Amino acid sequence: MDSPASTPPSAVVLLSGGLDSATCLAIAKAEGFSVHAISFRYGQRHLEELRRASRLAKQAGVVSHRVIDIDLGQLGGSALTDETIGVPKADSVDQIGDEIPVTYVPARNTIFLSYALAVAETTGSHDLFIGVNALDYSGYPDCRPEFIEAFEAMARLATKDGVEGNQPLTIHTPLIDLTKAQIIARGLELGVDYSLTLSCYDPVPEGGADGAVKPCGRCDACLLRDKGFRENGMSDPSLAG
């Protein structure tokens, strides 16, 4: 660590406003990093998750929080960005298929990590946290460990650090081997306020003037999350009230 003891090293954390990234942020803080958080406005069906990301970032005391506009919507091909494709619903996690779901966004994590790499370079950070998960990942190709390893290898060649022989970039995936229940248990230990997080792919307007929404309770993300809280002997605090 070449930073003086009085200046903690900085890390870039991808923060969506969901359960996984909120936990990832808490882990980065617990490991002693000062955090540059980044979120994306990428043509999501709803922007509530960005409001949640802002509140989580503020609560965690990050150094900076960038919300970067990117237009994945014009690329099409995902239920998360294309209104003409329905979000699949089910009654339990057992009904979630093995194939790559329509909620997959083409090359999304590659694009997100590329921006994170740019932020890492401009902020002098050598560490990058992303809350991908290989167990509950519902078949997304860009949540697999081999993808993350290949991105890290590429990233180490992509920037000035790679040419100048500086400390290489490390991509941290602290959640990659955890079940949703284990992720929640870790976050609870670290004091994550899960009532602030929103994971739902298709939230329902609550009808108020503030545009607040509540989780649908039946998309893959809601079902996996519900199961995780139940395995911790509690109900999802984002569903309370």
Q: Check binding of 81 to its own copies (CB under 8 A).
A: no
Query: Using the rule CB under 8 A, is 70 a contact of its own copies?
Result: yes
Residues 180 and 224: beta-carbon distance below 8 Å: yes
Residue 111 and residue 238 in contact, taking contact as beta carbons nearer than 8 Å:
no
Give 103's DSSP letter.
Answer: T
Q: Helix, strand or coil for residue 40? A: strand
Select from 52-60, 85-93, 150-158, 209-217 the region that touches its own copies (CB under 8 A).
150-158
| 216 beta partners | none
Q: Which two tokens stand for residue 98?
A: 């093995």
Taking CB under 8 A as the rule, does residue 96 contact its own copies?
no
Q: Is 214 exposed, middle or buried (0-12, 13-18, 19+ CB in 10 A)?
A: middle
Under rule CB under 8 A, residue 159 binds its own copies: yes
Q: How far apart are the first and last CA of the chain?
A: 46
Helices 19-30 and 180-189 pack at an angle, to 10 degrees, of 50
Among 10, 28, 57, 104, binds its own copies (CB under 8 A): 104
- Which one among 37, 62, 119, 224 touches its own copies, defined by CB under 8 A? 119
In angstroms, what CA-CA distances link 81 with 18, 44, 108, 150?
17, 5, 11, 26
The window from 130-138, 160-168, 171-179, 207-215 that contacts its own copies (CB under 8 A) reads 160-168
Shortest Å, Cβ 151 to its own copies? 5
| Residues near its own copies (CB under 8 A), total | 45
- Give 38 or 223: the residue with its C-beta nearer to its own copies: 38
Is residue 98 a contact point for its own copies (CB under 8 A)? no
Contact with its own copies (CB under 8 A) among 32, 76, 86, 191: 76
Task: By CB under 8 A, name the binding residues for its own copies.
Answer: 66, 68-72, 74-77, 100, 104, 106-111, 113-115, 117-119, 121-122, 139, 141-142, 144, 146-147, 150-151, 153-160, 162-164
